[in-house]
């Protein structure tokens, strides 16, 4: 199948490109390398160094004729979205509508798979693990932009027949992960430990997140391609892990006796976040397979390895 990935030089997108190429698909990538890395680019993919807001992406769709699109390119930094909400709306909303329209103009029956967020879309709910039936209430511009795109998908589906899935990820971690993304704490602590710096935990460290390993996220994405299902699906473990616990896992993975320090809590930080994967499990049989200790060990090893040095 011809598949187009936006954000295919980033953390999740580049692993997805590797996986789809491994499965025999022809992959093309649109990425402006703003946070992505050309080192992540799979040599078998066609690459277009373009911004998703650029109308020229229409020509890429005309040329590559993708039968499915995985849309991952985004401004992913929550703090940046608060400092500059216009940049966030511009990239995440205008850019996404440009991608959806370009796809619809070139292919009427393909599937559009959108990387949304389960980490921030539900806001500060006390229904945990949160199912998709809880009304989203994002408390940051980044989350609002992701929810808005989901609503555009519903619109384009109802009026233009777009087939889509929106995957609401938990906090995704693994090799190549980005320190600014939702599971950034794992990248930051790992780098701190390797540089002999003392990790700082904001607040008491008992805030929780739903950390999900990259391999599990890739499996959820390919399920969307292989199953004729539509709608919004959480992609998480249903298990809460505290930042203190993450620190302990990284300490164990590094084999050091490193200590942490605590600083004041971050303004507006959600105390607990955890999403229920029951819907996607029921629809496809997908379930998270990588236990957090194992996933952190693999991630830490990557940060330690030469692979990561020139990034």
Ligand X SMILES: NC(=O)c1ccc[n+]([C@@H]2O[C@H](COP(=O)([O-])OP(=O)(O)OC[C@H]3O[C@@H](n4cnc5c(N)ncnc54)[C@H](O)[C@@H]3O)[C@@H](O)[C@H]2O)c1
Give backbone dihedrals phi and psi of 300, rounded to 5 degrees, phi first.
-60, -40
Helices 11-22 & 214-226 angle (0-180, nearest 10): 50
Closer residue to ligand X (CB): 53 or 258: 53
Minimum distance of ligand X from residue 12's CB (angstroms): 4
Q: Does 183 bind ligand X (CB under 6 A)?
A: yes
Q: Does 98 bind ligand X (CB under 6 A)?
A: no
34 makes contact with ligand X (CB under 6 A): yes
Q: Is 7 in the site for ligand X (CB under 6 A)?
A: yes
The angle that helices 184-194 and 292-304 make with each other, rounded to 10 degrees, is 50
Rounded to a whole number of angstroms, the minimum distance from the CB of residue 310 to ligand X is 16
Among the residue ranges 72-80, 124-132, 199-207, 283-291, the one whose residues contact ligand X (CB under 6 A): 72-80
Which listed residue (3, 4, 5, 11) binds ligand X by CB under 6 A?
A: 11
If the CB atoms of residues 120 and 261 are measured against ligand X, the closer one turns out to be 120
Q: Decide if residue 10 touches ligand X (CB under 6 A).
A: yes
Tokens of 254: 């590094």
What are the counts of helices (DSSP H) followed by strands (DSSP E) for the chain? 11, 13
142 is an active site residue: yes
H or E element at residue 30: strand 26-30
Shortest reach from residue 259's CB to ligand X, in Å:
26
**Nearest-approach distance from CB 233 to ligand X, in angstroms:** 13
- What is the per-residue DSSP string for 141-182? HHHHHHHHHHHHHHHHHHHH--EEEEEEE-EEESTT--TTST
Binding mask 111-130 for ligand X (x = CB under 6 A): ----x-x-x-----------
Closest listed residue to residue 213, CA positions, set 283, 293, 269, 284: 293
- Look at strands 208-209 and 241-242 and give their pairing: antiparallel
Q: Is omega for the bond preceding 75 within 30 degrees of 0, making it cis?
A: no
User: Could you give the CA distance from residue 152 to residue 38 in angstroms, rounded to a whole number?
Assistant: 30
* CA 278/CA 255 separation, integer angstroms: 35
Contact between 51 and ligand X by CB under 6 A: the answer reads yes
Closest to ligand X by CB, 97 or 256: 97
Stretch that binds ligand X, among 71-79, 154-162, 225-233, 238-246 (CB under 6 A): 71-79
Q: Of 48, 142, 173, 213, which one is the catalytic site residue?
A: 142
Among residues 73 and 100, whose Cβ is nearest to ligand X?
A: 73
Residues with catalytic function: 142
Interface positions with ligand X (CB under 6 A): 7, 9-13, 30-36, 51-53, 72-76, 91, 95, 115, 117, 119, 169, 171-172, 178, 181-183
């Amino acid at each position: 199948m011809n598949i187009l990935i936006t954000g295919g030089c980033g953390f999740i997108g580049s692993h997805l490109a590797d996986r789809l190429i491994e499965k025999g698909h022809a992959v093309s990538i649109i990425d402006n390398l703003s946070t992505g890395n050309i080192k992540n680019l799979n040599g078998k993919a066609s690459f277009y160094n373009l911004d998703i807001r650029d109308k020229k992406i229409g020509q890429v769709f005309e040329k590559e004729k993708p039968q499915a699109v995985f849309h991952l390119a985004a401004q992913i930094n929550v703090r940046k979205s608060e400092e500059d909400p216009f940049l966030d709306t511009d990239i995440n909303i205008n850019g996404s509508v440009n991608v959806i329209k370009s796809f619809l103009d070139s292919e009427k029956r393909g599937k559009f798979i959108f990387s949304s967020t389960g980490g921030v879309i539900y806001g500060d709910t006390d229904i945990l693990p949160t199912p998709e039936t809880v009304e989203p209430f994002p408390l940051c511009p980044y989350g609002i932009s992701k929810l808005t795109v989901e609503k555009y998908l519903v619109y384009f589906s109802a009026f233009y027949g777009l087939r889509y899935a929106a995957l609401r990820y938990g906090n995704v971690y693994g090799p190549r992960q980005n320190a600014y993304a939702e599971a950034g704490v794992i990248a930051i602590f790992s780098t701190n430990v390797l540089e002999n710096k003392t990790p700082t935990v904001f607040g008491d460290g008992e805030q929780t997140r739903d950390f999900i390993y990259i391999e599990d996220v890739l499996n959820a994405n390919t399920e969307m391609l292989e199953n004729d299902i539509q709608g919004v699906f959480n992609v998480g473990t249903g298990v809460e892990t505290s930042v203190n616990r993450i620190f302990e896992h990284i300490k164990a993975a590094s084999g050091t006796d490193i200590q942490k320090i605590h600083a004041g809590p971050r303004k507006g930080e959600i105390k607990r976040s955890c999403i229920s994967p029951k819907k996607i499990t029921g629809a496809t049989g997908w379930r998270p397979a990588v236990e957090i200790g194992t996933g952190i060990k693999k991630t830490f090893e990557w940060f330690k390895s030469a692979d990561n040095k020139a990034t």
